Structure 1
Amino acid sequence: MPAYISLPLSKTPSNPQKSAKTPQAKHLLPKYFNFSLTVFVKTCYNVLCMFYTSEADMKNAILTSKLALYVIVVLFVVPLMVFTPIVSADFSDGLILHHAYDEGQGSLAADLSGNGHDGEISNPEWVDGKFGKALKFGGEGSDVFVTVESSPILNVNECTFMAWINADHWNGTRQLVGKSVHGGCNGRTQYGLFSEGGVFKLRFETESGRADISTDLPPVGEWVHVGFTNDGSTAKIYVNGEVVEEGAVPGTLNANDDPWRIGQDCERLNYVFAGSIDEVRLWNRALSAEDIAALKDLPTAVDAQAKLTTTWGDIKTAR
């Protein structure tokens, strides 16, 4: 009886960890799959060798084992790759601020990005959020807002902002986020997302002039994911993970020393947001549409040191 032999089935990448960290779209099979497949085929081959003793029988054993492998691939591996896409992406890259608003008490919103951009909450009102807790803002005349003191890295040019909001109404000018967008503080206006004149407006103030991009107001009375990106030349407004409007941004954004505000523009109590805000994040790069769609349903995706790599597979089990 011939001695059992091993069949080389696949080559192991020379640097698998490097491949795993690459933030590109790809299909990932469970890590134990290759091992299980190898054991299965080797077992088939060795069992067949117990019955086949001639050289011709040995060839039949090899062919039968390969056929079993092909059947496994066609019936199980291909459908798994087609219907279970998992995209790997390092969402902590460029994340400079992340407020989850899950404290539920106190007047400090911790920055989970690890960059120290904690928010000071004026007259906090805690409510149930999209995920965990959220902050409630009272609209015109209210003095509930979040202030993050200025730092050099908050003077972004390329950027991504996103948050979950549940608006009570959009009457008047309702400021969601801004860095002196209406000139209420001492510095030059920079950017903001707000309602004005019956539209949802994204504004950038640049060295070459103003860029206003407008779209329909988001629904009220329900949680809606909103955000925007600027890649240095084009800005896009996102609602529920989809691009709803875009426009050109003429030049580099103004820099200033004014604070970064959630729920209110600098010193303007008549521009306060009306409703609840949850899961606020800011990047110093423009995320792709695929990234934004993935992050929409992924709460608190990054740990306190912003080192966690997330996957679309995690979204299915997100709390």
Structure 2
Amino acid sequence: MRMTFHAVLAVAFTAGLFLAGGCDVGGAAGGPCGWWSFDEGTGQTVKNAGTCKNGGTIKDGLKWVDGKVGKALEFNGKGYVLIDTAPCLDAPEYTFAAWIKLKNTSDYQYIVWRGGTEFPEAKEIRNIDVWVTMGGALSGILDYADAGQARLRLEGAKNIADGKWHLVAVVKCPKAVTFYVDGKKDASEPVAGKLAANNLPLWIGARPGDVAATGIIDEVKFFNRALTPEEVAALK
């Protein structure tokens, strides 16, 4: 029996793909368990339109503005959104993605943090951590479950603090952690052991104490699986 073009493509994709980002084919298809669209346009809370219904609270006077899609939040260099913790955030593999439009500042700017309520941390348990450096590139740190093991550090290359919209994503799978910018791989580091886990809230746009974002963040999504490069490129 002859196989159709799409069937051949699917078999080749599933059987032969070892992705440039270090992850094998993604897990079972499914939408985001976290989807904070920031489309409310008013108030001090945000809803999760994903399968896990943990919402969030706006802290320190963020402004509702027009976004990449619908409404968004403009971050003022001190405020953030605190997303309630939920089991869906505890996935051993995940993809975090967001549209950002950040200004060039003289400081680091946090996109997402999940490492506790203080900095420096009393215990190093970061398992979601992405910021923009003073040079405008993505950067991040993840901790290993073994406290004696050196932290995993990931440094991007593309300048995204340029006042333009960029889709940023971080994909974590057992083999690697990978940054994507506008659907293209920006950096990747291999995973050399079991990474730390925690059940803490998610900070959007800041970490405890300082280095908050200055600009607009929109359409924040969290998948409890590692998306393939093709899936990352298709995010909107």
Q: TM-score, normalised by structure 2?
A: 0.79
Aligned equivalent of 1:166? 101
Q: Write the distance in 2 (CA, Å) between the matches of 1:183 and 1:254.
A: 17
Aligned equivalent of 2:225? 285
Identity of aligned residues (%): 28
CA contact under 8 A between 2:144 and 2:196: conserved in structure 1?
Answer: yes
Q: Write the distance in 2 (CA, Å) between the matches of 1:256 and 1:173.
A: 24
Task: Specify which structure has the higher proportion of helix.
Answer: 1
Aligned equivalent of 2:162? 220
Q: Which amino acid aligns with 1:228?
A: V
Aligned equivalent of 1:306? none
Aligned equivalent of 2:92? 157
CA contact under 8 A between 1:111 and 1:118: conserved in structure 2?
Answer: yes
Q: Write the distance in 1 (CA, Å) between the matches of 2:106 and 2:10.
A: 41
Cα deviation, 1:239-287, whole Å, max 9, x if unaligned, reads 000111111122222222431110011x31x221111000000111110
Q: Does 1:109 align with 2:46?
A: yes
Count of aligned pairs: 205
Task: Specify which structure has the higher proportion of strand.
Answer: 2
Q: Which amino acid aligns with 1:215?
A: G
Q: Which amino acid aligns with 1:256?
A: N
CA contact under 8 A between 2:105 and 2:134: conserved in structure 1?
Answer: no
Q: Which amino acid aligns with 1:121?
A: I
Q: Which 4+ stretches in 1 moved above 4 angstroms?
A: none
Seen in structure 2, the aligned counterparts of structure 1 residues 126 and 197 have a Cα distance that, compared at 3 Å, is: closer
The one of the two structures with greater contact order (alpha-carbon pairs below 8 A, sep at least 6) is 2
| Structure 1 segment 117-132 matched on structure 2, within 5 A | 117-122=54-59, 123-132=61-70
Cα RMSD over matched residues?
2.4
| Structure 1 segment 1-319 matched on structure 2, within 5 A | 90-92=29-31, 95-122=32-59, 123-139=61-77, 142=78, 144-180=79-115, 184=119, 188-190=124-126, 191-196=128-133, 198=135, 199-208=137-146, 209=149, 210-216=151-157, 217-265=159-207, 267-268=208-209, 270-295=210-235, 297=236
Q: TM-score, normalised by structure 1?
A: 0.59
Q: Write the distance in 1 (CA, Å) between the matches of 2:47 and 2:123.
A: 25
CA contact under 8 A between 1:187 and 1:257: conserved in structure 2?
Answer: no
Structure 1 gap ranges (5+): 1-21, 27-88, 298-319
Seen in structure 2, the aligned counterparts of structure 1 residues 171 and 115 have a Cα distance that, compared at 3 Å, is: same
